[in-house]
Amino acid sequence: MDPLTISLVTFVGVAALVGAVAFLLRDMAPNKTEDRLQVLAGLKTPELEARKILKEAIVRESLDGLAGVMQKLFSRIANLSLLFEQADFPLKPDAFAGVSLGLGLLGAIGAWLAQAPLPLIPLAFFMAAMLPFGYLLWRRSSRLARFAKQLPDALELVARALRSGHSLSSGLHVVVEEMPAPISTEFGMAYEEQNLGVPLDQALKGMLKRVPNLDLKFFVTAVAIQRQAGGDLAEILDKIGHIVRERFKILGQVQALTGEGRISGIVLMALPIALFFAVYYLNPSYVMLLFEDPMGRKMIAVAVVMQILGAIAINKIIAIKV
């Protein structure tokens, strides 16, 4: 097989892998509601937000497709240190890169020992090298999900502490003492920061940066408004906690109703890949026509693109935000 063909197939495989990772990450960007909350909380200025709206109006068409997905992916990779902090990952970035490289080499060696087609060896390298990054994203998602489930209880604890006559900082300390990680860890960092002289608003904004949670933005915004205009913060926190619990109930119903679609998407995405390897080990010469014949290589490229488009379409159908 000539080097040009190998390079083409390798490029298609890497593009498919990058598209899959972008498919996992594209919902991590803030929406318009979150941007408005950031303005109210002081994380953004209205002038910057206005310029952002004008910019989005100009480039909206280009960002709606795969180019927007890739842009979000590159922005996440550029902010890899924040992902490590949000996931509470024990490894440092240099050790993480070493582990990724080692797994990539093991994947390539395993594909070579399994007598896989030559163009699949680079693909096996990249897929194995991306396993630590996938684990990092899973760990981050799991940690943020646990934080979201613990947040209503934490808000109620803070509200009860305020009704008992304690200050807001003392309410944060109650959460640190009474609740498990990860919410105790994040609230503990904010509590220690304000003990060291950082204003409480800034400490909460730092926690919001570490934990990009919409419900937490409501809490930070309520605290910022209450400190400027006054009001019953305990009652506000109780209402926020109630809203969060109701939203979780609706989200559970949505997950149950879209379960069939999610399972169908997983089966439809995995079936062609599993069938390819099964046929390859049963009759390798039959599958090798896809790599040796020019029409077969075009079919592989089209199949990969269709797989990516199918994954995006299925996710658009089943991804219902609450």
pTM here is 0.65
Does a structural domain hold residue 44?
no
In a domain, 103, yes or no: no
Q: CA angle 158-239-174, nearest 5°?
A: 10
In a domain? residue 321? no
Tell me what pLDDT residue 319 has.
73
Query: Which contacts of 4-11 are long-range, i.e. CB under 8 A and separated by 24 or more positions?
Result: 5/119, 5/291, 5/297, 6/118, 6/119, 6/122, 8/297, 8/301, 9/119, 9/123, 9/291, 9/297, 9/300, 10/119, 10/122, 10/123
DSSP letter for 88, please.
T
* Residue 197 falls inside a structural domain: yes
* Domain tally, the chain: 1
* Omega before residue 284 within 30° of 0, cis: no
- Here the CATH number for the domain that contains residue 183 is 1.20.81.30
* Cβ(25)–Cβ(138) below 8 Å: no
Q: Dihedrals φ, ψ of 199, to 5°?
A: -55, 145
Question: Domain range spanning residue 176?
Answer: 142-256
Is position 241 within any domain? Answer: yes
Q: Is residue 179 part of a domain?
A: yes
Q: Kindly state whether residue 221 falls inside one of the protein's structural domains.
A: yes
Burial of 33 (0-12, 13-18, 19+ CB in 10 A): exposed
Residue 22 pLDDT > 60, yes or no?
no
Predicted confidence (pLDDT) per residue in 156-184, tens digit: 999 999 998 888 888 899 999 989 989 99
Give me the half-sphere count of Cα atoms (radius 13 Å) on the Cβ side of residue 254: 12
For the stretch 182-240, pLDDT in tens is 999 999 999 999 888 888 888 998 898 889 888 899 899 988 888 888 778 888 889 98
The mean per-residue pLDDT over the stretch 10-36 comes to 56
The answer, yes or no, to whether residue 30 has pLDDT greater than 70, is no
Q: Which long-range contacts (CB under 8 A, 24 or more apart) does 203-208 make?
A: 205/41, 205/42, 205/43, 208/41, 208/43
Regarding predicted confidence, which is higher, 302 or 8? 302
Q: What is the pLDDT of residues 249-299, one digit of tens each?
A: 888 888 888 787 788 888 888 888 888 888 888 888 888 888 788 888 888
Residue count of the chain, please give it: 322
Inside any domain, residue 167 = yes
Tell which residue, 22, 33, 127, 134, has the closest CA to residue 71. Answer: 22
Q: What pLDDT does residue 9 have?
A: 58
Tell me if 300 sits within 8 A of 119, measured CB to CB. Answer: no
